[in-house]
Amino acid sequence: MWWMMNEGGGHYCSKKSDDISGDVCGQESSRLSMSRIRCILRGIDFKTYIFVFVMIPTCIFGIYLHGQKISYFLRPLWESPPKPFHDIPHYYHENVSMETLCKLHGWGIREFPRRVYDAVLFSNEVDILTLRWQELYPYITQFVLLESNSTFTGIPKPMVFASNRDQFKFVEPRLTYGTIGGRFKKAENPFVEEALQRVALDQLLKIAGITDDDLLIMSDVDEIPSRHTINLLRWCDDIPQVLHLRLKNYLYSFEFLVDNNSWRASVHRYQTGKTRYAHYRQSDEILADAGWHCSFCFRHISEFIFKMKAYSHNDRVRFSHYLNPKRIQRVICKGADLFDMLPEEYTFKEIIGKMGPIPHSYSAVHLPSFLLENADKYKFLLPGNCIRENG
């Protein structure tokens, strides 16, 4: 029999019934039914609704917008600072003899200066290249420049230097110019294309005639060693085999001094078969106050847009409005970050200390002489002239 009498004379059914327990919260079977969902929702108060349907989506949207900032701010938790450089004090005055200057650095004096090669990969920085070559011109044996018809990110580009070569007639007798075809692999890591172009630059240096113990300057176009720094290194004996240069770090122009910690530029005593053109740390020795790094120092807004899309860190353009010309102009004059990023530092103290716009500087002392001699033409690089040209 499927039914039985209970002790009180009543009946009960041995079958389970969803209909009997369906309206009693907590008495439901383990299966998720609509009645069980209704029971759960009846037990949630209004504040919980607000949290689930407002706060959680807001947090997700905030992470989407500012996830990169959060990552950079928390960087000290998982990444330690690199090993400190050994800073070599830099001595210079125009009225002090070269023999004395070399002695102050702990070096001897040579009977004749070394030859110097300045080698760069070129993209579109015509104005900054002019300042660089004018600054270094008296002491460079051979200017070596490699240009590609592709950006590091695989975007086709015009041969800007070739189109403007007439502006550089002053270096023509000492110029070794080479070109390299791009591979136009847009999905590839841009640092691969950059590395391949640096290998090609090694070959171009050999064509230029570099030999053992010649000095080779390895730096981007916008990392400009000072003239007297290169003269010091070509005359002094016993300088390090590889010496990094600590440069003053500027953004947009010489109005916005970020810090004095640009270090990637380096000078090498060339060794056949050993010296390779690179843009990373290659030594622990660094010479203090050796020049200027002027990043994103362009005349035209279009040049900013091009570089933002073209250079190896183009992944920082997370939103299309970052490329809006009016926004770029506002950011430049404010001294803020084009990519709306936090400082790339290794301690919370340094990150917090550099947060916000860069303070304006009104000093134009100890800048490249050609810049000051041609201030009208290059006023966009000087304090008080943040407005850029359209086009």
**Burial category of 286 from C-beta neighbours within 10 Å (exposed 0-12, middle 13-18, buried 19 and up):** buried
Q: What would the two tokens of residue 180 be?
A: 């390299």
Q: How does pLDDT run across 51-96, given as a tens digit for each residue?
A: 666 666 776 656 555 666 677 678 888 888 889 999 999 999 999 9
Q: Under CATH, which architecture does the 86-298 domain have? A: Alpha-Beta Complex (3.90)
Nearest to 337 by CA among 355, 318, 319: 355
HSE-CB of 18 using CA atoms within 13 angstroms? 8
- 86 within 8 A of 286, measured Cβ to Cβ: yes
Helices (H), the chain: 18-21, 34-42, 46-50, 56-73, 75-78, 98-104, 126-136, 160-163, 190-208, 227-235, 301-310, 325-334, 348-354, 369-373
Distance (Å, rounded) from C-alpha 252 to C-alpha 121?
20
Q: How does pLDDT run across 5-37, given as a tens digit for each residue?
A: 444 444 444 444 444 444 445 554 445 566 666
Q: How many residues in the chain? A: 391
Q: Which residues pair with 224 in a beta bridge?
A: 292
Domain boundaries, the chain: 86-298
**Maximum Cα interatomic distance, the chain, rounded to a whole number of Å:** 123
End-to-end CA distance of the chain: 94
Spell out the per-residue pLDDT of the chain, length 391, in tens: 444 444 444 444 444 444 444 444 555 444 556 666 666 656 666 667 666 666 667 766 565 556 666 776 788 888 888 899 999 999 999 999 999 999 999 999 999 999 999 999 999 999 999 999 999 999 999 999 999 999 888 889 999 999 999 999 999 999 999 999 988 887 788 888 888 999 999 999 999 999 999 999 999 999 999 999 999 999 999 999 999 999 999 999 999 999 999 999 999 999 999 999 999 999 999 999 999 999 999 999 999 999 998 876 667 788 889 999 999 999 999 999 999 888 888 788 888 988 889 999 999 999 999 999 999 999 999 999 999 998 7
